[in-house]
Structure 1
């Protein structure tokens, strides 16, 4: 049995490592494609890119593992079945469940490790790469220039642009003071700006302009006869016109600055399950307090409640300035202590009362609508924490279920390698990913509870896994009538 265990794990390890690496490369490429606009043209150093990809890779492992488990399990059992090794093992009296026992134990160990990784490592990785992406997105050279005013953010330069569109600027004026002996002014009709590859230079691509250079006043020069050749106010200068030119400025102090990670650490993606539980309790307490305060405020602001509380007035105005207390006393004294019938009022008084009631109702409706929007945002935030809480557990469950989908499926199709298994795994993983996305969206919108939203793929795939395991264990096809008769009769053979 030790040989079977070693043989099974060796057969599984190769495809698993290969498919996991391929999945990670694909997911990193997808991430790069999503953030390509933020990464290009920023002059980021190689170290920043490597650091970003390192933390992103840690966060993508939960997505790569289910696909790797699914594909490697199909390939492993497909290879065994294709080479008749699975048939030989069954002929020796071993059931499919016994054959899969070493792999099952391995996958369960991977699932448990994945949970701890997702709970303790991925939140830190998410915090790191979200911080880096935020800093990269904020490092935009176009933000250095404000249309209509001179910008002196870059040492040694004063830059003015008339207008801007995206990364293109118009009516550009650049005063260059980097050389104290030369006063240089560059004017151009338009230009684009970007950082150099090493991030140390700001480059302007200018169109249709002139460069005017003027030296500082020169010392007087005299001829041999002692006559002045020129006085001290002489300033040599030259002007150059160009159709297109590139102007380079050295950037000092505009490298990628890392933000304080405290800004992001309380986000639900950066917390483990224990911290999420604490955050959920805190949010629930805040929501209850908001509802309680809102109800008390509504009651207190009603004229009837104010009139009833007139006897408790000394306590209600304690701590208020004397003027405010006197005003409040006058307002409360003006409220009648008895009910006034509308029919007892004059026409003008009825119109005034109705208008006041309409205004009060509209005001109250607006306040209630704002409160409802606030509570809805509160609910969405609370459910995001719940979704993240169940996501960490659902991931480990999905790994185990996908293994029991892929292993019997490989035994049924009897195909190994990267041909048919890749196609089958891609289709199944697409189903899993669609179910995962749908469940998350339904949970976020409040249609499903966070629990069912995150466990939806697992709940759908468990019956499929059971059907495939029964079919593979009894050497039946998926569409074989005997299989469905066996399932419908609860295993009673007829």
Structure 2
């Protein structure tokens, strides 16, 4: 390796390391903010908090790494161009393409390291992170609940006025809301109790909540729409009521919890095996739903056809309903209405179930492709940042940060947009996961071509600037005339 290559690689790596450490620290602080409700006011020792953050930290590397590569490329090559170091290289017969050669190989090695990290380190970190959260709650079950505010655990929202006891296991003033999923009706059940006791075992995935002296309220939704206007409800009281809360529900993370899901705890081989199993179950469910619906409708049709054939004798074009008595006609209409309602209900439930399973399959495929996207994004951001820095000829932390933030926001937005579309089955998973990379790859090619051929950006903003200058000059002349 020549002295020039060592100098370029050293300059880039120093800048990259500095940027990566700063951005990593910023995103870790963001993680603390995301999980502040689980860390603050729960008497956790310093070592547990450090473990909590160390297991969370690897999950933010896929976001920090591409941004660091991009910003370091703009700053390093912008500094070279600003200090006329590229001019000195070109005067010695060294082109920009030759200057980037060894550094490009270094970024290629970084891409392979990032792929290994995404496939091996991050899944283990996810697994340990979620288990640490569960172990904390098992050792001190009251940590799952904070005084004076609603705490979401699975389908329950729990609020307590006060906690007492060595581990805060004795509760006072308990209010619970039970949200039924896929109903869109919010909290259908409300439970209030004067006191409560939390219990758990180390080898159990359930948190037991025993409520004392309380009331149970539940909204009732009749099938008849007219009856719903009366807003019926059920109410009961109890002396002792025990509820088992599944701690695995804590692992059902939403975007507010840092976007941590079970499929991200799997490596590539495990993802392939899991997707095959999920796809097989999905196909079997589709066949089962269709067969059940066909058999059900076929039995109804055959029954109606048999009854009709016994009544139709000499009529050529009979009205089948008129062949029955008036009392039987109303029964037939009611039966038909109930059958249609039941069939529609079965279809809707089956559709919701299949959509959820399809979304789960798509999520696994997205995670599978994202492991490769992380590696490719390092190369992509380098071939955007390095040529862009050479073109704008600005180093430091001013203009390079502006360009880096704009490009990375576009990259991240397209990544999230493609992921959502792929999860909803609006796009194939491979297109959703690779959308941002496919869109920005032409930009990397254009910038690299222009930088290596000394073309520059060549963007003319006169069509926008000239009208503004004319308006300002007119306003200035008007003010001078008035004065």
Task: Indicate the residue corresponding to 2:16 in structure 1.
Answer: 16
For 1:269 and 1:100, the matched residues in 2 are separated by: 34
In structure 1, what is the equivalent of residue 221 of structure 2?
none
Query: Residue 387 of structure 1 corresponds to which residue in structure 2?
Result: 366
* CA contact 2:77–2:389 (8 Å) conserved in 1: yes
Provide the TM-score with structure 1 as the length reference: 0.66
Unaligned runs of at least 5 residues, structure 2: 148-157, 177-192, 196-246, 254-259, 313-319, 461-483
Q: Matched residues in 1 for 2:137 and 2:91: separation?
A: 62
Q: Extract unaligned runs of 5+ from structure 1.
A: 173-257, 309-331, 482-494
Instruction: Pick closer, same or farther for the CA change 1:373–1:259 going to 2, 3 Å.
Output: closer
1:261-292: CA deviation from partner (whole Å, max 9, x where unpaired): 99999920100111111111111111111122
Aligned equivalent of 2:225: none
Aligned counterpart, 1:359: 338
Does residue 1:457 correspond to 2:436, yes or no? yes
Quote the residue 1:128 is aligned against: 128
Change (3 A) 1:296 1:339: farther
Alignment of 1:421-432 (within 5 A): 421-432=400-411
Map 1:35-434; keep pairs closer than 5 Å.
Answer: 35-136=35-136, 139-140=141-142, 161=172, 163=173, 267-302=262-297, 304=299, 338=309, 342=320, 343-434=322-413
**Cα deviations by residue, 1:28-49 (Å, 9 ceiling, x for unpaired):** 0111111112210011111111
Q: Secondary structure at the match of 1:301?
A: helix
- Cα distance change, pair 262–39 in 1 and its aligned pair in 2 (3 A): closer
Change (3 A) 1:477 1:57: same
| Cα 1:447–1:295 shift into 2, 3 Å | closer
Aligned partners of 1:147 and 1:98: how far apart in 2? Answer: 64
Deviation at 1:135, TM superposition (A): 4.7
| Distance change (3 Å), C-alpha of 1:455 and 1:357 | same
**How far is the alpha carbon of 1:73 from its aligned partner?**
0.8
Per-residue deviation, residues 96-153 of structure 1 (Å, max 9, x unmatched) = 22110111101111011111110111101011112323455674358599999x9997
Counterpart of 1:2 in structure 2 is 2
* Deviation readout 1:374-414 (Å, 9 max, x if unpaired): 11111111111111111111111111111000000110111
How far, CA to CA, are the matches of 2:337 and 2:268 in structure 1? 49
| Equivalent residue number for residue 471 of structure 2 | none
Residue 441 of structure 1 and its aligned partner are, at CA, apart by 2.0
In 2 relative to 1, CA 2–151 (structure 1 residues): closer, same or farther, beyond 3 Å? closer
> Which digits, 9 at most, give the CA deviation of each residue in 1:430-480, with x for residues without a partner?
222222222222222332222111211111111111221122112222125
**What is the aligned residue count?**
368
More helix by share: 2
Q: Does the 8 Å contact 2:271/2:368 carry over to 1? A: yes
Residue 426 and residue 302 in structure 1: after superposition, are their counterparts in 2 closer, same or farther (change >3 A)?
closer
Deviates more, 1:100-109 or 1:418-427: 418-427
Bigger CA drift: 80-89 or 416-425? 416-425
User: Which has more radius of gyration?
Assistant: 1
C-alpha distance in structure 1 between counterparts of 2:251 and 2:26, whole Å: 31
1:444 has 2:403 as partner: no
Provide the alpha-carbon RMSD of the alignment.
3.8
- In 1, the alpha carbon distance for the partners of 2:64 and 2:57 equals 10
Rate the CA distance shift 1:49–1:432 in 2: closer, same or farther, 3 A: same
Q: 1:473 aligns with which of 439, 449, 452?
A: 452
Alpha carbons of 1:408 and 1:373: their partners in 2 closer, same or farther (altered >3 Å)? same
C-alpha separation between the residues in 2 aligned to 1:69 and 1:80?
16
